Amino acid sequence: MHRTKGPTAMHFLRATPILGALLAQALAALVVAGLLQALMPQLTGRFGIDKIIWGALVVQALLSAGLTRALGLAVWWHWIALAFPFAVALALAAGSLPAWPFGLAFLLLYLFFSNTARERVPLYLTNRATIEALRRLMAERGATRFIDLGSGLGGVVRGLAGKGRNAEGYETAPMAFLISAILSKLTGRGTIHRRDIWSADISSADIVYVFLSPEPMPAIHDKARREMKPGSLLVSNSFAIPGLDADEIWDLSDRRKTRLYLYGMKG
């Protein structure tokens, strides 16, 4: 375990995944453009223009998906990266498309990401290695009450609930809340509240967990310092509280190289 100077550019891109996805597409496009420029004489001698275009789209899709994976973005961004070049090509080829697919896409974005702009809290999911680390942390601390602020699809809450552990999550994005609440009900694991993180009651929590972004971390610290009981623990995934040294830092050995910042609440 060691201390770092704060969030890196990689952490920022992971917290704002749409920027990471756009960067991946841009870098892949530059590579594809360079390859086409260098290889076009040879390609045109062997393939028709249609095959060259389809080949370029395949390379663009694979490169951008690989880059989103390298950036540590959630798995659905890999699929978006794969589909995006072909969707753009289809739109250009069609000339004009009906408006309803774009309206549906906007609605889905709103239902999943409506709280991102307002609270500076993107939807970003915790992986299994981190859930295992949080279980271990609760066992080491003898903690029984866990709260996830910005619980997304509720995987952490379901993963920690049970065996004497009470786990609750707070989420405002409509679709994320609906999915996580249904899954919690079906599995009987944990409770999900549709309430913003700032109005959540964290006074009785032994451990409060956040996986947000750099923007809200100072305010999260203020809330924790005001409301959490002495001896409890605030755990932040990937993003440190600016200007404050963590009591402990856990570096996990997962592909994402997850880092957990642990802050103990003083009396």
Express each pLDDT in 82-96 by its tens digit.
Answer: 887 877 777 666 555
Mean pLDDT of 38-51: 75
Question: 85 and 148 share a domain?
Answer: no
Q: Is residue 177 part of a domain?
A: yes
Question: What's the pLDDT at 229?
Answer: 97
Q: Is residue 118 part of a domain?
A: no
Mean pLDDT of 187-201: 94
Q: Is residue 83 part of a domain?
A: yes
Q: How far is the C-alpha of 126 from the C-alpha of 111, rounded, in Å?
A: 20
Question: 42 and 151 share a domain?
Answer: no
Question: 91 and 150 share a domain?
Answer: no
Q: Is residue 91 part of a domain?
A: yes
Report the chain's mean pLDDT, rounded to a whole number.
Answer: 82
pLDDT in tens, 226-236: 999 999 999 99
Residue 151: partners with Cβ closer than 8 Å, 6 or more residues away: 157, 169, 170, 171, 180, 192
- Bigger pLDDT: 186 or 175? 186
Question: 82 and 24 share a domain?
Answer: yes
Tell me what percent of the residues of the chain surpass a pLDDT of 70. 78
Question: What's the pLDDT at 57?
Answer: 87
Question: 47 and 134 share a domain?
Answer: no
Question: 87 and 153 share a domain?
Answer: no
Question: 140 and 228 share a domain?
Answer: yes
Quickly tell me which residue has 């786990």 as its tokens.
167
Question: 132 and 48 share a domain?
Answer: no
> How many structural domains is the chain composed of?
2
Question: What's the pLDDT at 83?
Answer: 82
Question: 90 and 148 share a domain?
Answer: no
Question: 134 and 206 share a domain?
Answer: yes
Of the candidates 158, 152, 214, 217, the residue with the CA atom closest to the CA atom of residue 183: 158
Confidence of residue 3 (pLDDT cuts 50, 70, 90): very low
Q: Is residue 120 part of a domain?
A: no
Question: 162 and 253 share a domain?
Answer: yes
Question: 152 and 57 share a domain?
Answer: no
Q: Which residues span the domain enclosing 46?
A: 9-95
Q: Is residue 104 part of a domain?
A: no
Residue 181's SS3 state is: helix
We report the CATH number of the domain holding residue 141 as 3.40.50.150
Q: Is residue 107 part of a domain?
A: no
Q: Is residue 41 part of a domain?
A: yes
Burial class (CB in 10 A: 0-12, 13-18, 19+), 59: middle
Q: Are 197 and 214 in contact (CB under 8 A)?
A: no
pLDDT in tens, 104-122: 555 555 555 555 444 445 5
Confidence of residue 1 (pLDDT cuts 50, 70, 90): very low
Q: Are 193 and 168 in contact (CB under 8 A)?
A: yes
**Taking the CB of residue 231, how many other CB atoms lie within 10 A of it?**
12
